[in-house]
Structure 1
Amino acid sequence: MTEKIREQIIETEYSDVMQKSYIDYAMSVIVARALPDVRDGLKPVQRRTLYDMHELGIRYDKPYRKSARIVGDTMGKYHPHGDASIYDALVVMSQDFKKSVPLVDGHGNFGSIEGDGAAAMRYTEARLSQIAQEAYLADLDKDLVDFIPNFDETEKEPEVLPVRIPNLLVNGADGIAVGMATSIPQHNLGEVIDGVIAYMKNPEINTRQMMEYIPGPDFPTGGIVTNRDELLAIYSTGAGKIKIRGKASIEKIKGGREAIVVSEIPYTMIGANIGKFLNDTYALVESKKTSDIVDISNMSSKDGIRIVIELKRGADAQNVLNLLYRKTRLEDTFGVNMLAVAEGKPETMGIVPIIRHHVNFQYELATRKYTNLLKKEKEKKEIQEGLIKAVDVIDLIIEILRGSRSVKMARACLVDGITEGIRFKSEQSEKDARLLHFTQRQADAILQMRMYRLIGLEIEQLRADYEKTMQNIQEDMDILEHRASMARVIIRDLKEIKKTFARKRRTLIDNVAEAVIEEKPIEEQEMVVLMDRFGYVKAIDLSVYDRNQEAADKENKYVIHCSNLDRLAVFSSTGQLHLIKVLDMPGGKFRDKGTPIDNLSKFDSARERILFAEALGAVKESKVFFGTRAGYIKQVDGAEFDVSRYSSIASKLGQGDELVAVGTIRGAETLVMETKSGYFLRIPVSDIPEKKKAAVGVIGIKLGRADRVSQMYLLTDQEGGLTSLHNKKVVLNRLHIGSRATKGVKR
């Protein structure tokens, strides 16, 4: 037994197993879930949902059915990946703001362009749209496509739907697979059909020529494509970036003011991004990027988008609109990667190869369709010939039927002329019966023929039907034998679809110059920045400070006079410098709480302490002193801190060290260093060397093994510099002046 088990063990490298398993998984996701097929432009979940609705008979001219029924049936029969993915696909296929050609007719709350989700599937109802029924699912009963077993081999599902239009271009696609993603823009149905017809007439057509019929994407939300000249490269390679912007106009409103009215949005703004656009516009006002906007209102409804941005009197409306284009998603980028599954493999294709695959698919469908039709017409011809022949000898046939004891006996006589067992009125009738040679199919038709078919008019109709059948056979054979004839049939069907379902283009395509913002110079004025001990900061007008000076000085740790064009320099215990524009600080009333500097900079209050804050303008005109816990000191030219970055290193620190004191040396004569063990060392400021901010500094005080610096004080001659140690007061300017790098005196 053990030997038999050992013989069944297959030894292999773990890495080989993992590689094969991952590749199998990746290809499953790519081909069977995430990417559309180039032939019908559908992902498996979309294809299965539409096919299930077709099988359930939920046609566009029939009553709606509960979405839950559709989802459940699709999941049970064809798509065992959870109801959420199926319902999401159903919802998206019904949303006319996401799909140029909705394939599902939804009834109930199927979401909104502003990001509202659809109601639960138990509440909504759906049915196929007319175009889905007529251009996506028609002729499924004519054996046009292969059917494959479903996941548990209890049902059959189509490998691909017999879609008659290039759905991949018309409705676009988006999806994320393993290691790849697809993003295909949507196009105008009528233009795409014109492009397909142009290709069928000239298979050598190039991308530039194709773009005479399909000039660019046509998003259901409208908008403007602003980089028309770049579309040729995008459609040639299948990859690139399309720049789109919303459509906005400037309208006069009451009071002699103007308003910017957004009536169409970029396709990328669908959903929550509309709310983000409103927030971003509000943020422009909050951050004082513009003071021309006085009100923002979203008046959008089911009838369309209408976002009104009211401006103050005398505002430059075009400049504000350009600001919105530059700083919000009113102008955005649509990344194009036209990736689809072609012949079982993912492939990035330009617009002409996509149409080529579609046209080849149409020829395959037409070949199978007319082959099946020809077969049926030939079967019909055979039966009609038998019935016409039977009419001419109908008296003999009636005699055979009356003389036969069974249907089998009568059929044998009609097919092979076997007369044994049949009673005839005369020998001549029996001789004539032996000459009969109907086919099996003809004999069955004769046996099933009703007597009313012997009426004169019915016989004439039978001969007319036969002539029509012969004509159909000739037409079907012509279509199958001549590609040009097949092309005419396909083009005729495409023109009929265009006539019924095409609509006008919504998206304007043009070359639009990049939006330029004319920066208005900000008038300089004196401000006072207040920061409390918790790190909350605000900027107020000098006049407001003057009226509340006593309270402001008492309640705040830092009271900094500066210009509104200046920046606040914040030095932290970790050696970081954080620069904050005064214009970015919240202003207004004196009693407003302010904003934590964590929200205005990269300052991290969880690991940093504020040691010093000053206007950058004042810092640049001074020398900045740094003292560390390990006793290192230095001074740095303040001009070194005039940098463009919001956060940078102010002083290099040794391993495990941190700053305990930072300040400007402005009139200071001496420096006093205090340690945890109670040592004090007072030295002249002139003994503090000037270093670069990237330097560690020099030893200021010699520390014992377990000692460290707790405080440092910069003193002028007039300052007493009181501190306390062990409940005893220490007057700092009475300390003996010592030498740098000594131990100092203990108190």
Structure 2
Amino acid sequence: MSETPIYNPEGLERLPLHLFSEKAYLDYSMYVILDRALPHVADGLKPVQRRILYAMSELGLSAAAKFKKSARTVGDVLGKFHPHGDTACYEAMVLMAQAFSYRYPLVDGQGNWGSPDDPKSFAAMRYTEARLAPYAETLLGEVAQGTVDWQPNFDGTLEEPKLLPARLPNLLLNGATGIAVGMATDIPSHNLREVARACIHLLRHPDADIDALMRHVPGPDFPTAAEIITPASELARMYQTGYGSVRQRARYEMEEGDIVITALPYQVSGNRIMEQVAAQMQARKLPMIEDLRDESDHACPTRLVIVPRSNRVDLARLMSHLFATTDLEKSYRVNMNMIALDGRPRVMNLREILSQWLGYRTATVRRRLQHRLDKVLERLHLLEGLLIAFLNIDEVIRIIRTEDEPKPVLMQRFGLSEAQAEYVLNTRLRQLARLEEMKIRAEQAELAAERDTLQQTLGDEGRLRDLIIEEIERDADKYGDERRSPLTERPAALALDDTELAPSEPMTVVLSDKGWVRAAKGHDIDPAGLSYKSGDGFLAAARVRSNQPVVFLDSSGRSYSLQTHTLPSARGQGEPLTGRLDPPKGAAFRAVLGETEPGCRWLLASDAGYGFVCPFQALLAKPKGGKSVLTLPEGARVLPPVLLPGSPLDRVAAVTSSGHLLVFPIGELPELNRGKGNKIIGIPAARAKAREELMLAITIVPDGGSLLLTSGKRTLTLKPADLDRYQGERGRRGAMLPRGFQHVDALSG
């Protein structure tokens, strides 16, 4: 099918559907982009905002006027300039009146205009009243001074300004957000005085780069007093590219041990924070918080009090967790997309925005001065004709009385222009009294001086620039204020993990022969005295804290770790570890280990006579699969791990099934994270391979301590002097134990 329009005899245009759809969608897209969603760099307003402000000025709602019902304003806007929904129009008006939404509000509202906790809680337009805020004068003050282009309204009965003659870069001051078709905009607000200084600097130094401008505009300035914690390098990148993000964090202070939050991030409500913190408290994720209160009132708009459970709580760490898990810290996207002076949407950096606005402002001031100059010249021209008539008043009166058409006669007789003659004819006789000559000449002199000044300013770029700078400084002094959002670089917020969130209580983790586990409160319980399932019994126990991990070692040499506070209570008989862990087929759990103190170490060994010292942290592993720690020779079994007391003078004692005992310094064993380890006691290779001789037990003898051997019902205590007979180098055969103790059941140092 042809892609060119086809005309039929009825005069109807026919188009292929894909062409019609494409054109219709593009037209709609451009309408949304240009006439609804994106602000203009000149005045920083969207069309609906511009029309609301202009309609209010036409209604006479200046900052000094009486308030009028908002419904009256909305009705004028809809009926004259913006034929869309009244709800959307009113919401746009409300946004410009909310001091917590706009850095410099444009509308002064009376009544319920919403609150920071619920910005949408404003009353209906029939209840609220409004007028223009003082700051709106910077946008509307020069509308009637020939500074703007006009366009017909939607029905062609009225004219409205295409743009407002902004005396300040309102786009940066109040920011903007909007979603168009295929593009969006998110421009943060800034401080008026800072932006004014940057504009003045750029006027005086047209080649200034963004780094120079950032010395005046270091970052955004939100309506709230929360801290901006974005690093300066990221802010510089944002201003360089027009893209980025800004992160704002709540401010707090300490009062008698309590945390008092005094400022929240932009568009964050105190109610929302209370809900988020309370939800974590109910889920038992914040055991260190005892109470939470909202003490906000008119005197203190933001005052949220967090009461810690004790003075031992790390408050800085707690707040870091809350920053990471609640809206006490919030990130805002920055996308400085706007309609440029050429009418096209694009993303601009800081320098481009200021340059474009200064170009618009310069053209606006030039138009204002030229408009005033035209008025002055016109008035001087009329005064010149009036003075001629005054000096020839008798002749003028005669001509008016005797001539049917006095205007052409006056023009011919006195050389007046048509405008001068018309003005003379419309002048009252009382204005031609004697004293009027002095007034006319005084006004002529005053206007002539103003004319000269205007012509000089328009003809001199330097004078024009100085005038713009003077006006910016005057408005900055009148409407500017101090920065609200301090710029402070802070470390990244980190959420507390499960270990830190759990209360620190003494716990005893009990492991049974069949691999069932449970945790009892306290360190003074008797694990062997607990009840066990039929055919099961006590195997091992570890005394730890409830907020610490516990490690399980299986018969294949793999280690696994679980958080103690997640284990079942000892009130019952526990649960099988295989429900949480996934050991190799046929492997059984043989030991449970805990971190008795930071940096503790354990001696791991196999009955093949090999072993090594392993830090507790190296034993931690993912819960399900664990990790291989102790490599076992073929057929070897894991011996119960032994906790090292910590002294370098401690000695290792190892005994074999043949009755050989070897004692050597602990320093001779290597410290490894995993592996087979080194030979601890010498066992002939053939006997070890045939499993005819094994290392039965191993223990640590503290420096100056004794060794207790158990064989059946008999015990033997070897004092330090006795142990010297069994002292040797690691890996040696050792010495034979006395008769009756050549089959040792247990060793203990």
Q: Fold conserved (TM > 0.5)?
A: yes
> Hey, what's the Cα distance between the residues in 2 that align with 1:93 and 1:584?
52
Other structure's SS at 1:242 match: strand
Distance 2:409 2:17 in 1: 73
Task: Tell me the equivalent position of 2:408.
Answer: 412
Matched residue, 1:52: 55
Distance verdict in 2 for CA 1:32–1:348, change over 3 Å: same
Select which of 303, 326, 329 maps to 1:331. 329
Per-residue deviation, residues 250-285 of structure 1 (Å, max 9, x unmatched)? 221xxxxx111111111142x4xx333222222333
Who is 2:317 aligned against? Answer: 319
Identical-pair percentage? 34
SS in 2 for 1:164: coil
Q: Is the aligned partner of 1:298 residue 2:276?
A: no
Q: Is the 8 A contact 1:228 1:510 kept in 2?
A: no
Q: After superposition, where does 1:16-35 map in structure 2 within 5 Å?
A: 16-35=19-38
What does residue 129 of structure 1 align with?
Answer: 133
Task: Give distance in 1, aligned partners of 2:14 and 2:471.
Answer: 58
Q: Which protein has the bigger helix share?
A: 1
SS in 2 for 1:141: coil
- The alignment partner of 2:338 has SS state of strand
Unpaired segments ≥5 residues, structure 2: 1-5, 510-517, 526-532, 534-540, 550-560, 588-620, 627-749
Secondary structure of the residue that 1:509 maps to in structure 2?
coil
Task: Map 1:300-699; keep pairs closer than 5 Å.
Answer: 300-303=296-299, 304-314=301-311, 315-342=313-340, 343-402=342-401, 404-406=402-404, 408=405, 410-417=406-413, 436-515=414-493, 522=502, 523=504, 619-620=581-582, 642=624
Q: For 1:675-730, what per-residue CA distance to the aligned partner results, in whole angstroms no more than 9, with x for missing partners?
A: xxxxxxxxxxxxxxxxxxxxxxxxxxxxxxxxxxxxxxxxxxxxxxxxxxxxxxxx
Counterpart of 2:695 in structure 1 is none
1:110 aligns with 2:106: no
1:126 Cα deviation from its structure 2 partner: 0.7
**Could you tell me the TM-score, scaled by structure 2's length?**
0.67
Instruction: Write the letter of the residue equivalent to 2:319.
Output: L
Does the alignment pair 1:143 with 2:125? no
Counterparts in 2 of 1:4 and 1:240: CA distance versus 1, 3 Å: closer
State whether residues 224 and 266 of structure 2, in contact with CA within 8 Å, keep that contact through their aligned partners in structure 1. yes
Deviations 1:488-513 (A, max 9, x none): 22222212211211111111113222
Contact 1:298–1:307 (Cα < 8 Å) also in 2: yes
Residue-by-residue CA offset, 1:63-118 (whole Å, 9 max, x unaligned):
11111121122112222221111011110000011111100000000000111510
Structure 2 distance, partners of 1:49, 1:586, is 65
Residues 145 and 158 in structure 1, CA contact (< 8 A), matched pair in contact too: yes
**Alpha-carbon distance in structure 2 between the residues aligned to 1:61 and 1:488:** 30
Q: How has the CA–CA distance of structure 1 residues 616 and 439 changed in structure 2, closer, same or farther, with 3 Å as cutoff?
A: farther
**Distance verdict in 2 for CA 1:441–1:212, change over 3 Å:** same
Q: How many residues of Structure 1 are paired with residues of Structure 2 in the alignment?
A: 542
The 8 Å contact of residues 33 and 43 in structure 1, kept in 2 or not, is answered as yes
**2:266 maps to what in 1?**
267
Given that 2:562 and 2:623 are in contact with CA atoms closer than 8 Å, whether structure 1 keeps it comes out as no
| Matching residue of 1:277 | 273
2:246 corresponds to which of 242, 249, 255? 242
Give the deviation of 1:288 after TM superposition: 3.8
Residues 210-260 of structure 1, C-alpha deviations (whole Å, 9 max, x = no match): 1111111111102111122321111111111112111111221xxxxx111
Amino acid in structure 1 at the alignment position of 2:356: H
Aligned to 1:77: 80
Distance 1:643 1:200 in 2: 67
Q: Which amino acid aligns with 1:498?
A: A
Deviation at 1:620, TM superposition (A): 3.9
Q: 1:619 to 1:442 in 2, by over 3 A?
A: closer
Show the counterpart of 1:593: none
TM-score, normalization by structure 1: 0.67
Query: What is the alpha-carbon root mean square deviation over aligned residues?
Result: 3.5
1:306 and 1:482 mapped to 2: Cα distance? 55
SS of the residue 1:41 aligns to: coil
Tell me what 1:535 maps to.
none
Gaps of 5+ in 1: 253-257, 418-435, 529-538, 547-552, 554-560, 568-578, 591-612, 626-638, 645-747
- Per the TM alignment, residue 582 of structure 1 is displaced from its structure 2 partner at its CA by 8.8
- Deviation, 1:196, is 1.2
Cα 1:393–1:340 shift into 2, 3 Å: same
Contact persistence 1:287–1:584 (CA under 8 A): no
Partner Cα separation in structure 2 for residue 34 and residue 373 of structure 1: 35
- Using the TM superposition, name which of 486-495 and 158-167 deviates more: 486-495
Instruction: Find the counterpart in structure 2 of residue 36 from structure 1.
Output: 39
Aligned to 1:15: 18
Rounded Cα–Cα distance in structure 1 between residues aligned with 2:568 and 2:448: 87
Paired with 1:615 and 1:275, the residues of 2 have a C-alpha distance of 43
Structure 1 residues 449 and 357, CA gap change in structure 2 (3 angstroms): same
Structure 1 stretch displaced more, 281-290 or 147-156: 281-290
Distance, in Å, in 2 between the alignment partners of 1:581 and 1:179 is 49
Q: Are 2:581 and 2:625, in contact at CA under 8 Å, matched by a contact in 1? A: no
Structure 1 residue 401, shift from structure 2 partner: 3.4
Contact 1:287–1:583, Cα closer than 8 Å, also in 2: no
2:289–2:306 CA contact under 8 A, matched in 1: yes
Write the deviation string for residues 124-159 of structure 1: whole angstroms up to 9, x where unpaired: 111111221x21111222232111122232322211
